[in-house]
Amino acid sequence: MEESAKSFRLRNSWIPVDESAFEQEVIHTPGLVQPFGVLLACRRSDLRIVHVSANCDWILGREPREVLQMTLPALFGQEQSDEVTRALSEPGHRSASRLSIGKLRPGGLENHVVAHTIDADLICIELEPSLPGHRWDLLSKRLESIVEALQKTGSQQDLCDAAAKEMRALTGHDHVMIYKFHPDHHGEVIAEDKIAELSPNINLHFPASDIPQQARALYLLQRTRLIADVDYVPVPLVSLKHASVPCALDMTYSSLRSVSPMHLQYLRNMKVGASFSISLVHEQKLWGLIICQHRTPLLVPPEVRSLCDLLGQVISMLTGVTQNNEDYVEQLFNGSRLKELESVLAGPCVISEMLVEHADLFLGSVGASGATICIDGQLRSCGTVLPPHERHALLALLKEHGDEPIFLSEYLAGIMPALKIYKDVASGILAIPLDGSYKSYVLWYRPEITQTVEWGGNPNEAKVRDVVTGLVGPRESFAAWRESVSGHAKAWSPRERAMALDVQRLLKATVSRQGDAAKAKLSLVDVLTLLPNRRVLLDRLSRLQEDGVLEHASLLFVTWTDSRA
């Protein structure tokens, strides 16, 4: 009976909660550190130590209250203190890596030191015991071989597959995943390498709230993040009590910064004992993460973490290169299609009729199933399109966006619910105005594509509250949760959006060219009779006289005058 009651409570007493509050959680000033190292902060002006972690006796051999009475030279020695401050002397230099400052405690190990500036007058220093077996020269040679292997990959997917494999070999984790952020900030595992016993996460999606906005912001600033043991006991900071000393130390760039309790529970629920992540940044945006997970505690040595940081930057760069290569191929495709359209519209023609006549080319240029073209009152359609009354309603909406060069949606029913019944025709819309008011325009349509998205657990219950205890926590289950998505079209790709803008420029130029030609032709005829006007006749007579045709003849030139009165 006890087991039955427990199972019933787990199934029914957890309810979803509003996740917006978690976006406000302050995670860069926890006032706590992870216990695999020691943190201290000193004023840059006088090098007086004003913050130190309570576990400092482990490495420094001194209690916090004693350390807070000291300066950096008194604690490290003048030479090693100068080495730290000198490494931070260059403008904009936030991190001093691979500084070994020797044995700070009798019988202790050498310590790996990382330092960074927090503001104009604070230096943060973190110390970790240097573990044997990780010589930097050997690690750098390993980096060379890894980079060489990654450079041989052709596509972005091949690169991510290779990166996951190389990173797992380097760090020793059970499971390494390449996690890519989508435009709405939810993530997807696009590559992985793991031990055989673990279930795969490939192609699983995870809601944006799993890595909220403030966490993504920190990943962009601090490229590596280690959690050596999810069950660690946080170590508090001890601070000098003085008006000039900030109560909350900004730990944005700290490797030892303690982790949100919510995230630690999240990892426990995933049966993860340790985690290490490396940021992938493309064009100054967080493109994704390399996520390394282990079933038991695992301390990645600082030297290896430094190598992983460098490797992450290389992978980020190669990700950009492969993306640029793929973009270039798409640009070539766009250019080829655009030249074909230019050729079609080069001569005198009714533009809308000519586009319909070459519907395969016109629709294929953006991957549409139907289109409506309206130019100077000439309305034509090809493929499957909305009926006229629904098109008029859509145009009323588009006119509100007339100052925008392009309007697109992959879920038109979300904007205009009445169009849901036309999901087989127009679940997606791509519209370009050819003027400022949608009197002339092109509408491309796409039908619905029913998709099944697999999530790592129910995304609607990413955070839950126990109705018995009132405690809020992450979801307990990460089993694949399938969501059927209907009413959505295939998303318009960046290449297709760029092509639509190219077509817009082409059609505007063609309309303008045809307008200029019509004006030029009109200037040569009488507007009432449509016969050649006086200037044209005089030009012809002048040429005949120059050619001697009128030399022995008399010419009577009569002009027609308006006698409408």
pLDDT in tens, 25-59: 889 999 999 999 999 999 998 999 999 999 999 99
289/164 Cα distance (integer angstroms): 11
DSSP letters, 233-265, are PPEEEEE---TTS-SS---TT-SSBPPPHHHHH
Percentage helix, strand, coil for the chain under 3-state DSSP, each rounded to 5? 40, 25, 35
Tokens of 413: 């029913």
503 shares its domain with 557: no
CATH number of the CATH domain containing 431: 3.30.450.270
523/141 Cα distance (integer angstroms): 77
377 shares its domain with 490: yes
248/28 Cα distance (integer angstroms): 9
Cβ atoms of residues 386 and 422 within 8 Å: yes
Position 144 scores a pLDDT of 85
DSSP state, 204? -
313 lies in a domain? no
379 shares its domain with 445: yes
Spatial CA neighbour of 149 closest among 134, 128, 164: 164
501 shares its domain with 545: no
368 shares its domain with 402: yes
548 shares its domain with 506: no
370 lies in a domain? yes
Position 21 scores a pLDDT of 53
97 lies in a domain? no
Cβ atoms of residues 159 and 150 within 8 Å: yes
433 shares its domain with 498: yes
DSSP letters, 400-417, are TTTTSS-EEES-GGGT-G
Model-level pTM greater than 0.85? no
Q: How many helices (H) and strands (E) does the chain have?
A: 16, 23
Share of the chain above pLDDT 90, in %: 54
Q: Helix (H, G, I), strand (E, B), or coil: what is residue 318?
A: helix
Cβ atoms of residues 499 and 334 within 8 Å: yes
359 lies in a domain? yes
492 shares its domain with 386: yes
Furthest C-alpha separation in the chain: 127
User: What are the CA-CA distances from residue 497 to residues 77, 324, 330, 345 (Å)?
Assistant: 61, 16, 12, 21
442 shares its domain with 533: no
Summarised one tens digit per residue, pLDDT across range 487-499 is 899 999 988 999 9
DSSP letters, 106-149, are TT--EEEEEEEEEETTEEEEEEEEPPTT--HHHHHHHHHHHHHH
Position 107 scores a pLDDT of 65
- The neighbouring-strand residues paired with 441 are 374, 433
Cβ atoms of residues 412 and 426 within 8 Å: yes
Position 524 scores a pLDDT of 56
Position 480 scores a pLDDT of 74
61 lies in a domain? no
Position 86 scores a pLDDT of 86
Q: In what order do the strands lie in the sheet with 370-375?
A: 378-383, 370-375, 441-446, 428-433, 407-409
Task: Please give the angle made by the CA atoms of 409, 326 and 360, to the nearest 5 degrees.
Answer: 55
Per-residue pLDDT of the chain (565 residues; tens, 9 = 90+): 232 222 222 333 444 444 555 667 889 999 999 999 999 999 998 999 999 999 999 999 999 999 999 999 999 999 989 988 888 887 666 676 667 777 777 667 788 889 998 887 899 999 998 876 666 667 777 888 899 899 998 889 999 999 999 999 999 999 999 999 998 999 999 999 999 999 999 999 999 989 999 999 999 999 999 999 999 999 999 998 875 677 789 999 999 999 999 899 999 999 999 999 999 999 899 999 999 999 999 999 988 998 999 999 999 999 988 888 877 888 888 899 999 999 999 888 889 999 999 999 999 999 999 999 999 888 999 999 999 999 999 999 898 887 889 999 999 999 999 999 999 999 999 999 998 778 899 999 999 998 878 888 777 766 665 555 555 677 776 777 777 778 899 999 988 999 999 999 999 999 888 876 666 665 555 555 555 555 555 566 566 566 665 555 444 444 444 444 4
Torsional class of 47: left (φ above 0), alpha (ψ -120 to 50), beta (otherwise) = left
470 lies in a domain? no
378/391 Cα distance (integer angstroms): 15
430 shares its domain with 554: no
411 shares its domain with 362: yes
Q: How many residues does the chain have?
A: 565
- Parent domain of 400: 345-450+486-517
Q: CA Rg, the chain, in Å?
A: 35
505 lies in a domain? yes
Position 543 scores a pLDDT of 63
496 shares its domain with 563: no
223/277 Cα distance (integer angstroms): 8
Position 17 scores a pLDDT of 46
205/458 Cα distance (integer angstroms): 10
Position 137 scores a pLDDT of 66
113 lies in a domain? no
Say how many domains are in the chain. 2
Position 276 scores a pLDDT of 98
Position 438 scores a pLDDT of 86
> In angstroms, how far is the first alpha carbon of the chain from the final one?
110
Position 2 scores a pLDDT of 30
278/311 Cα distance (integer angstroms): 9
